Structure 1
Amino acid sequence: MREHELRRQVVAEMHLRRWPVLAVPSLITQWLLIVDEDEREAEYAFLDGLFGAQGGSHRPAHRSGEVAHGISCVWERHSEGSSMALFSPPTSPELEAAYKRVLDMPGAILRATQIHVVAKDTAAQKLLPSMQFEPGETISCHFAGKARLWADFRLKEDGFGHVVAAANGLDQRDFTRAVQRVQELGNYRNKALLGLPVAQEAWPRLDAAEQQLATLSTRVAGAEERDDELMEELSRLSLELTAIATAIGYRMSATRAYAALVRERLEQLHVTPLEGYASLANFTQRRFQPAVRTCAAVTAREEQLSERASRLASLLRARINTRIENQNARLLRSMERSSSLQLRLQQLVEGLSVVALSYYLIGLVGYVLKGMSHSWPGLDPELVMAVLVVPVVLGVWLALRVVKTRVLGES
């Protein structure tokens, strides 16, 4: 059987984004980077130098290897950017050198996190003072059953956000998957929040567009405004709304998708709150959801304004069409009156033409009769002319009718 060209890629996709089984204790350092498309070639060249060159033109979405003694590295390509994670012992003399090698990677850092993995809560309590968590903002909860985490989701002086995770006897593979989900939740959360500045920037533009739309609605309702000027301004407003939709569309769609992934990861973690601490779910609901709702509100508002502008344009076009139809009706009535007047004038002219032609024809006949009276003394020219008036007029009228019928095709 012939193999589909995407078969191996689809199968490999199901095995991507898997971390190595975590050692307890250990340190996980991960960077989430935004990499532009024009930086991808430089990124692959960097990876070839880090992990070793690969043959062929295939560009994998996942690479892993050891960058220093006892320090493994996992790189993953995402739809937006990439991530690089180091897995090392809690303390290692090779760690600083590994950091320097990895930080030469192209891209801009969106999130940098260090997860300190310990065996039990007692080991975590000894580690917490060095984390310098904000007392009133420390998040702590159980996840995936026995495991527990501590964090305040703030950047420290070293540029990292720090998380402490205790396995508490949870199976190593289950614990690895749970910690990876915690990390993915944070990555997706930050990517989703990229839409908030875009939404905040678009909100004043939507305010101005809404005010302009309200003004145009009032002006359209008035009769003194010119329709062409109103249509021109409404077209400019529609173009502005289209520009806003184009500018925010991709980012708002991405925010919705990432927010759905955040909710999915929260459900998978089975977070259990602890008394005296805010849980990971509470933190997400309290700070993350309002930002997502703001993005959703901006999208909904832009769609509503575009729909209102479209309805107003339809009403204005209907008014313009009605006015054009009324003007055409008045023009047709005027043309009808003009045609009627022209017809009556034409009939009058035809009548006068019959009289004039008859008069000249009888005059010619009169000259003939007067000349004949010299040969026939008994002939009365005036009497004969009087008798010929009616036949001559009828004959001229009939002749004109015949000419009109033949020339103009009128009945």
Structure 2
Amino acid sequence: MREHELRRRVVSEMHLRRWPQLSVPGKVLQWVLVVEKDERSAEAEYLDHMLPAPLDNPGAAHRSGQFAPGVSIAWERHSEGSSLALFAEGTDPDLTAAMGWATGLPGRIVRATSLTLVKDERAATRLLPKMNFNSDEIVSCMISGKARIWADFRLQGDGFGHLLVAQNGLDDRDFTRTVQRLQDLGNYRNKALLGLPEAQKNWPQLDDIEHKLADLADRLCAKTGRDDDLMSELSALSLQLSTVATSTGYRMSATRAYAQLVQERLEELQVQPLDGYASLNTFTKRRFQPAVRFCDALVVREQQLSERADRLGSLLRARIDTRIENQNAELMRSMERSSKLQLRLQQLVEGLSVVALSYYLLGLVQWGLRGFDGVDVERTLAILVVPTVLTMWIGVRVAKRRLLGSPEE
């Protein structure tokens, strides 16, 4: 049996996101980076010095290794960038060298977090004064049944967002998975929020387009303005809407997908609120969900404006088509009147031609009769007038029918 060329890659995807088992007490530093396509080769070269890729998979999306005794590293490539995590043992590990190496990675930081891991809440209480949290904005809750977190989700002077996590007797493996889910929640939240500035930037443009569409609809109803001018303006507005949809489509879709992942991680963490503190659920509903809804509103509004523009275009095209049909009908009526007039003129000409031909024929007969003595020319011509006219009329009719066909044809 032949193996599918993507089989091993698909299987490896199921194992990429595993963290090494965390040490408590310990520390975790993580950076989430946006890396451009042209930076990927430089990133791979930089990683090769510390975290060489497996020989059987040089394009591996996950690398891990030991930086120094008690300090390990894990790097992972994502669709929009990369993440790098440092795992250190002890209460106050020396991460200066590891952090110096990490800063050399190409890319732009989307999120940088420092997690302090302690055994229980008693140890956490001793550390809380040193965490420099804003006491009015501390978020604290129970997660996964036993563990507890403290954070204010603000950047401190070192550029990191700090979290304090107490294990509280949670199984080591469960605790590792819980902390990883907690980090995934924050990482996806920040990636989702990348769409908010884009939505805010394009919202005024949609306001302007909506105003212009309303004005265009009023002019269309009032039948003011030339149809080609209205169609030109409508085409320009439709092009603007397409530009907005194209420039924001990917970012808004990503925001929607990341928001769904945030919701899934919240459910997996089994958050339990504590009296006197805001929980992760409360913080997410109050700060995160409104931003996501605003991004969704931008997409919905753009679609609605596109539908309005399409309806206006259909109405305008229907008016133009109706006007063209009326013009064509008027042209046909004009052509019909012209044809009838031409027919009457033709009949008049035919009548005149019969009279003229009869006159000239009788003139020739007159000259012929004058050559005979004893013939009463005047009386003979009087007798021949009617037969001559009838003969000429019949001759013209026969000639016309032979040339043009019968009237029925």
- 1:343-378, CA deviations, whole angstroms, 9 ceiling, x for partnerless residues? 001001100100010011011001101111x2xx2x
Give, in whole Å, the separation in 2 of the partners of 1:297 and 1:403.
Answer: 80
Name the TM-score, length of structure 1 as normaliser.
0.97
Which amino acid is 2:190 matched to?
N
The TM-score with structure 2 as length reference comes to: 0.97
CA RMSD of aligned residues (A): 1.2
Query: Matched residue pairs, number?
Result: 407
1:281 and 1:73 map into 2 onto residues whose CA distance is 30
Give the aligned partner of residue 42 of structure 1. 42
The share of aligned pairs that are identical, in percent, is: 63
Query: Which residue of structure 2 aligns with residue 393 of structure 1?
Result: 389
Q: Give the equivalent residue in structure 2 for 1:74.
A: 74
Paired with 2:74 and 2:192, the residues of 1 have a C-alpha distance of 23
Q: Following the alignment from structure 1 to structure 2, what is the Cα–Cα distance between the partners of residues 224 and 284?
A: 51
User: Once the 2 structures are TM-superposed, how far is the Cα of residue 395 of structure 1 from its aligned partner?
Assistant: 1.3
CA–CA distance in structure 1, aligned partners of residues 54 and 28 of structure 2 = 26
Partner residue in 1 for 2:380: 384
User: Match for residue 101 of structure 2?
Assistant: 101
State whether structure 2 residue 210 is matched by structure 1 residue 210.
Answer: yes
**SS in structure 1 at match of 2:371:** helix
Q: CA deviation at 1:274?
A: 0.5
Equivalent residue letter for 1:285: K
1:259 aligns with 2:259: yes
Partner of residue 148, structure 1: 148
Letter of the structure 1 residue corresponding to residue 221 of structure 2: A
Rounded Cα–Cα distance in structure 2 between residues aligned with 1:42 and 1:360 = 108
- Single out whichever of 56-65 and 18-27 deviates more from structure 2: 56-65
Kindly tell me: are residues 53 and 76 of structure 1, through their superposed partners in 2, closer, same or farther at Cα, counting changes over 3 Å? closer
Indicate whether 1:221 and 2:217 are aligned: no
Partner Cα separation in structure 1 for residue 274 and residue 224 of structure 2? 68
Give the alignment of 1:1-400 within 5 angstroms.
1-52=1-52, 54-55=54-55, 58-91=58-91, 94-372=94-372, 374=373, 377=374, 379-400=375-396
Q: Which moved more, 1:342-351 or 1:89-98?
A: 89-98
Distance in 2 separating the partners of 1:29 and 1:53: 22
Q: Is 1:407 equivalent to 2:403 in the alignment?
A: yes
Report how far residue 71 of structure 1 moved: 0.7
| Counterpart Cα distance in 2 of 1:364 and 1:250 | 97
CA 257–93 in structure 1, closer or farther in 2 if over 3 Å, else same: closer
Runs (4 or more) in structure 1 with deviation over 6 Å come to: none
Structure 2: runs of 5 or more not aligned: none
Offset, 1:408: 2.0
Quick one: which amino acid aligns to residue 169 of structure 2?
Answer: G
1:318-357 CA-to-partner distances (Å, cap 9, x unmatched) read: 0111111111111111110111011001001100100010
Instruction: Give me the whole-angstrom Cα distance separating, in 2, the residues matched to 1:330 and 1:90.
Output: 93
Amino acid at match of 2:392: V
Give the letter for the 2:395 counterpart: A
Matched to 1:100, the amino acid is: G
- Compare 221-230 and 322-331 and name the one that shifted more: 221-230
- CA displacement at 1:406 relative to structure 2: 2.0
For the 8 Å contact 1:69–1:94, the answer to whether it is kept is no
